[in-house]
Amino acid sequence: MRVYLDNAATTALDPLVLEAMMPYLTDHFGNASSIHGHGRETRSAIEIARKKIADLLNTTAAEIFFTSGGTEADNTAIIGAVEKHNIKHIITSRLEHHAVLHTAQYLEKLHRVSVYYVDVNEKGVIDLAHLESLLQQYPNALVSLMHGNNEIGNILDLKKAGDLCHQYKALFHSDTVQTIGHYPLHLYSLPVDFIAGSAHKFHGPKGIGLLYLKSGSAIYPYMHGGAQERNMRGGTENTPAIVGMAKALELAYQRMEADRNHITGLKKHMIEELNKIPGLLFNGESADIDKSLMHVLNVSLPPSENNEMLVMNLDIAKISASAGSACTSGTNIGSHVLEAIGAKDDWGYVRFSFGRNNTKEEIDYCIKTLVKSIK
């Protein structure tokens, strides 16, 4: 048995998505910027995909731009907004994905902005009162706070945070990479100016993402060198991946309720079984079904000589899980998210993240292996 419990890092490509992509990897290969028949063919496919994605996210096609993934979308929103609006202050948190944190810190090193961090408690909950305090001191700022945390699973109330930002005339950006395709997003009614998404988090292809740019929230482009994406992102469009992302999001919405019931059931079962392990704790709000991502569960184990081998022992048993964010796996760098909530160095940490293809038998096998590894 080989068990994959790292769906927050990436998901398996759905066969129906591959099927939708194949014609654009073979027969329909034209450059969408070309005006001849081959180009018009692919241009049509891109715009149909854009409209489909916009409809699913309850917005307009004019507000959807394609990128190479969530990281580029985050960079584009932050750097483009700072340049366009001459922003001097960025407000974020220490729990953000590095695509946000490193971008803000890069701009600070260039003396373009000052960066301020919203307080979080030991569960990783954003202190909205402190956010308001910062906004009072630095109005007209750019605020970047993620919707669902990829490591500890905490979910931010986008409406509360966005309303607060707009009250002080701040722009609001949210990395929604872990929530698009898993939760319905009604962008027309959400007080967000920019969001980022990535197809491979909801069974689409890697290398394609989206930036939602709310009408009226203009920014400068980040990628230069062409007039693609209505002059907002230079570079030949990745037509097969764009078509694949639209198909993956369509399938995600069709299966959303069934997936939610199935994945939540797996998570509840694992929480119940892990609670039987003496000393085991859950990090962030990941064990609270109502306050966390349905697919993320982050656990910590008391100090033990086996902790350093914890994820490796799972891997030997053919179980794929993560010791932290997948973006730092394979390195000696600890999780900045766990550090921000006061995690202790001598404990063992592992993140399990579930998907539609997982089964209860796999969860039971994982728990049995984890208990064995601890002993």
327 given a catalytic annotation: yes
**Residues in the chain, how many?**
375
- d(CA 275, CA 233) in angstroms, rounded, equals 48
Q: Which of 117, 327, 328, 371 is catalytic?
A: 327
Give φ, ψ of 120 to 5 degrees: -130, 155
Virtual torsion, Cα 205, 193, 145, 179, nearest 10 deg: -40
Sign of CA dihedral 329, 335, 337, 341: positive
| 12 and 2 Cβ atoms separated by less than 8 Å | no
- d(CA 305, CA 310) in angstroms, rounded, equals 10
* Count of other CB atoms within 10 angstroms of residue 21: 22
| 244 and 208 Cβ atoms separated by less than 8 Å | yes
Q: Tokens 């398996």 — which residue?
A: 12
Pairing, β 319-320 against β 3-4: parallel
- d(CA 154, CA 287) in angstroms, rounded, equals 10
- What residues are annotated to the active site? 327
